[in-house]
Amino acid sequence: EMFELWNEMAKNEGFEGVYLIAMNTGWGFDKHKLFYDAYMNFEPIHTVMTDDSWRKQVQYVKREHMDAIDKTKASFKNWFWTQNAYSYPYICKEIERHAKCKGYKVFFGAAAGWDNTARKDEEGFILTRNTPKRFGKHIKKMLQKSEIADNEFLFLNAWNEWSEGAYIEPDKKYGNRYLLELERAVKSYENKK
């Protein structure tokens, strides 16, 4: 009812209506899909949730046995079972590989990093080996993928989501290098057009 009201209000003000984009997180489509004009892949969650590699299988087994794991020992076995980590290069390749049209409008997403263990503790997951340079390469590829799909937007997660480790805002470790890499990627893409 709220969407129908907003849509009607927009039309009354001279607009074509509301263009509604739903987040595609990997937990399935919203049952109200007829309301949406498009979806956007919420990265890296969308790719991690739809991952079918051995990494995902390890996480499923780990969840089943988490209570029995002795987390105080520093053995390889315990390290292996308690890790909820994906490498940034792997996730970027998977995001890029799956960035395709699916018969409906899908805007692609990208992320500079991820670490939501501050909120989710051992249930969270971490992207490792993310750097500004790798981020810049990923953005260039995703801009190209977006152009091929005739997408006007590429969604970035996020400017300053510190509690999920998804940010490009300057920090002590990299300064403003994420912003510089974003600028380089966009300029490089625009110059090639």
pLDDT at 188 over 90: yes
Q: How confident is the model at residue 29, as a pLDDT?
A: 66
Count how many residues are written for the chain: 193
Residues ≥6 apart with Cβ < 8 Å to 71:
78, 82
Instruction: Give the predicted TM-score (pTM) of the model.
Output: 0.83
Q: How confident is the model at residue 107, as a pLDDT?
A: 96
Q: What is the mean pLDDT of residues 163-184?
A: 95
pLDDT at 191 over 70: yes
Q: How confident is the model at residue 146, as a pLDDT?
A: 96
List pLDDT tens digits, range 64-111.
Answer: 766 666 666 665 555 555 567 889 999 999 999 999 877 889 999 999
Q: Enumerate the β-bridge partners of residue 22.
A: 39
Q: What is the mean pLDDT of residues 157-163?
A: 90
List pLDDT tens digits, range 121-153.
Answer: 777 888 999 999 999 999 999 999 999 999 999
Phi-psi region of 14 (alpha: psi -120 to 50; beta: other; left: phi over 0): left
Q: How confident is the model at residue 17, as a pLDDT?
A: 94
List pLDDT tens digits, range 25-69.
Answer: 877 667 777 788 999 999 999 998 887 777 667 766 666 766 666
Percentage of the chain surpassing pLDDT 90? 57
Average pLDDT, the chain: 87
Omega within 30 of 0 (cis) for the link into 74: no
Q: What is the mean pLDDT of residues 161-172?
A: 92
**For residues 24 and 180, which has the higher predicted lDDT (pLDDT)?**
180
